[in-house]
Amino acid sequence: MRYVIFSPKETAILAIIGDRKLKTLEIAEELYGRKKRPLSWRNIVGPTIVRINEKCKYYKLNWCIDGEGLGRDGKTVWKDKREPKN
């Protein structure tokens, strides 16, 4: 039996990030492309990343999404390895 931890949108964001360092605006642009965007499409990525990190902490995964910076284009985020805490 396969358990699904992440929602489809969270899975799509994780696939976009991959092993790269991206700004949240770049992730949003790749996520929605030229198709019809929701009203606050730039503000969807940040809270989704917070949910991903909460799930990583809850399920004691050995990685999380780390980030730095602020600005008009959003913060820069990437996947980061970390040791699971017992």
CATH at residue 19? 1.10.10
Q: Give the tens place of pLDDT for each residue, 52-79.
A: 999 999 999 999 999 998 877 789 999 9
> Does residue 1 belong to any structural domain of this protein?
no
> Does residue 48 belong to any structural domain of this protein?
yes
What confidence score (pLDDT) does residue 86 get?
A: 42
Show Cβ contacts of residue 27 under 8 Å, excluding neighbours closer than 6 positions: 13, 16, 17, 45, 77
CA distance 74 to 46: 8
Q: Give the tens place of pLDDT for each residue, 10-55.
A: 999 999 999 999 999 999 999 998 888 888 888 899 999 999 999 9
Query: Of 20, 69, 19, 63, whose CA–CA distance to 46 is shortest?
Result: 69
The DSSP element (H or E) to which 63 belongs, if any, is strand 63-68
Q: Is 54 helix (H, G, I), strand (E, B) or coil?
A: helix
> Does residue 15 belong to any structural domain of this protein?
yes
Domain extent for 25? 8-81
> Does residue 2 belong to any structural domain of this protein?
no
